[in-house]
């Protein structure tokens, strides 16, 4: 129950991965909500308060990059830590593009294919302890 009383927004269009991660967060005591794209995430951010956002970069309607820009530009949400969980890294063509993502105000970046979800949850726990 390392995440008791924490509210986490998961923004992920992959149903299988989303369900797995939601279960892990619940086991750790977190209350969590799920959005399947950036537009849906922004709607949820208007109506609820979150301690952390975990977001993919490649999603329909509004991608993760645009979501991060809007979250960080909004006075109400700018201080919410964001962890990026994506496979897009393999398709990023330049180091500048990767640096732009890393410098966009995120608190961590994980590549889905190289990450055990338990490691991601550990990072979430540590990040929220620091906050």
pLDDT at residue 104, as a whole number:
86
In the chain, domain spans: 7-121
Segment 21-41 mean pLDDT: 96
Q: Which of 13, 98, 118, 116 is nearest to 55 (CA)?
A: 13
Is the alpha carbon torsion for 63, 69, 77, 121 positive or negative?
A: positive
d(Cα 4, Cα 74) in Å, to the nearest integer?
26
pTM: 0.92
Contact, 59 vs 34, CB < 8 A?
no
Q: What percent of the chain shows pLDDT beyond 90? A: 70
pLDDT digits (tens, 9 = 90+) for 84-94: 998 876 555 55
pLDDT at residue 130, as a whole number:
80
Report the Cα 22 to chain-centroid distance in Å.
12
- Residue by residue, DSSP assigns 54-88 as EE-SS-SSS-HHHHHHHHHHSTTTTTS-EEEEESG
d(Cα 20, Cα 93) in Å, to the nearest integer?
30
What superfamily in CATH does domain 7-121 come from? Response regulator (3.40.50.2300)
């Amino acid at each position: 129950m390392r995440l008791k009383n924490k509210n986490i927004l998961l923004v992920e269009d992959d149903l299988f991965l989303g369900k797995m991660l939601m279960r892990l967060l619940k086991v750790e005591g977190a209350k969590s909500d799920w959005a399947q794209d950036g537009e849906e995430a922004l709607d949820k951010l208007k109506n609820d308060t979150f301690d952390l956002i975990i977001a993919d970069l490649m999603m329909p309607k509004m991608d993760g990059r645009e979501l991060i820009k809007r979250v960080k530009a909004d006075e109400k949400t700018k201080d919410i830590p964001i962890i990026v969980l994506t496979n897009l890294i393999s398709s990023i063509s330049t180091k500048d593009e990767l640096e732009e993502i890393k410098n966009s105000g995120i608190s961590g970046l994980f590549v889905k294919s190289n990450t055990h979800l338990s490691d991601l949850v550990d990072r979430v726990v540590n990040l929220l302890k620091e906050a």
